[in-house]
A = this chain, B = another copy of it.
Amino acid sequence: MTPDEFRAAGHQLIDWIAEYRSGLAEGPVLARTEPGAVAASFPSTPPVEPVELAKLIDDLERIVVPGLTQVQHPMHYGWFPSNASLSSVLGDITSSGLGGLGISWESCPALTEVEEVVCDWMRQLTGLSDQWSGTIHDTASTACLVALLAARERATEHSQIGGGMPSVAQPPVVYTTEQAHSSVRKAALLAGYGGDNLRSVAVDGTDHGMDAQHLARQMADDAGAGRRPAAVVATVGSTGTTAIDPLLEIVAVAERHGAWVHVDAAMAGTAMLVPECRPLWEGVEGADSLCWNPHKWMGTILDTSLFYVRDVEHLVRVMSTNPSYLRSSTDGAVTQYRDWGLPLGRRFRALKLWFQLELDGVEAIRRRIRRDLDNARWLADQVERAADWELVAPVPLQTVCVRHHPAAGMSGEELDRHNLAWVGAINRSGDAYLTSSILDGRWMVRVSIGVEGTERRHVEQLWARMRAEAIAAS
């Protein structure tokens, strides 16, 4: 495709995207498609003759769009917000258009240095000290894996360059809570620690934050038995209830054993753009690594996960490669981000953050975050005032976790079925989407507020609908 053909097609596509974004609130939130239906709409063999963009746009409308769950819909309250701010989309378009290749500083110096700049801007904007150095990973799952690899190598005196983990006489141990994201267990298992060496630290019964005293006892027990307390993964804003692990206490406990502390603030990091939220991660400066996802609430288009470490030298020692065809005369003077993570080749992701910060301005982003925090507090108030509704967890951020009690004394599986019934009815209607989740062994419903287009009136509308459906299901 020539640049001129691209110009013509690109204009068509921009118009189509603008129109799509303008109208997406008209359709259902949850995709109404049967498993396999999208795939069955495609020919089973690859296309042979080239087609015009118009044909693809037709396919997008006919096949793809009906197969999308609308996470940009103002009535989407599922999972966590996954905003895709159009300002950052422009940055992503620029990244694709430039077609840069980040395999070393030399292969694309601007890619590396703009990433350094925006990671540092984001550090400042979230109130972190200059002891942190940042990079962009794809997701928090990858960031957690990298952190646990760094921790593993610190705890095993760089076993990877010798006999590897099979040569480690006493196993390194990882600590987290049952409220941690599923990617933590996955990362620990993939990093080779083994499920037997992954401790589930107890949580507080009310706020579901990590019990630092229990952590201290578990670590002491492991150390006493000759095992190596290697890493704690602390969560700031858990996936279930946005629970906050007490970093200050955790860091103090971990320090006694030289254990690595990784802070998973995938969701809550965005909140740190507003100074009044920063007490939530008090103690973060004592951690070893930290991750948060601008691609969630902040709205930078996927995939943009910020990863900060304090000891870059250690990270690079664990993650580096230096074969001859990647050597350059500038080694040492420049940052080689390939040595900070898993993939060698990198996209120019920094443009997404740069464009969003410049085109929207951080104050507009902060206003939106405060709006969402207010909306969540408003909904939590309504729930607390309603006799038949239960607020099942505190609301430190923008997620409100609820259960409806249709009759005094209903509990157990009967209550589960009731709550799954009303939330299922809402989700199937397409008018809104909420996620059901298990907390303390029982189903509850998460209302995760924070889509760019979600205003107070949408939350009011949701609350009215929740009450109506809950009564209908009773």
Contacts and interface: CB of A to CB of B under 8 A. Distances in A.
A321 B182 contact: yes
A193 to B, nearest CB: 5
Interface in A129-188: 138-142, 145, 149, 152, 159-172, 181-183, 185-186
Interface string A78-105: 1100111111011011101111110101
**Total copies of the chain:** 2
A139 B344 contact: yes
A109 interface: yes
Q: How large is the interface on A (under 10, 10 to 19, 20 to 34, 35 or more residues)?
A: 35 or more
A198 to B, nearest CB: 9
Interface stretch (A32-40, A284-292, A404-412, A455-463): A32-40
Main secondary structure of the interface of A (DSSP, over half): helix
Interface stretch (A42-50, A201-209, A383-391): A42-50
A221 interface: no
A17 B97 CA distance: 6
Contact of A33 (B98, B109, B240): B109
A447 to B, nearest CB: 13
Contacts of A360: 1, 50
5 tightest Cβ-Cβ pairs between the two chains A and B = A164-B194, A84-B99, A67-B110, A165-B165, A17-B97
18 contacts: A3-B17, A3-B19, A10-B18, A13-B90, A31-B109, A35-B105, A48-B363, A50-B360, A64-B114, A67-B108, A99-B301, A138-B343, A161-B189, A164-B171, A167-B171, A182-B321, A182-B326, A325-B438
Given A6-B90, A82-B345, A182-B326, 19 more contacts: A5-B86, A10-B93, A16-B97, A30-B106, A31-B106, A35-B334, A45-B124, A48-B363, A50-B361, A51-B359, A64-B114, A67-B109, A139-B343, A141-B342, A142-B343, A164-B189, A165-B165, A166-B169, A324-B437
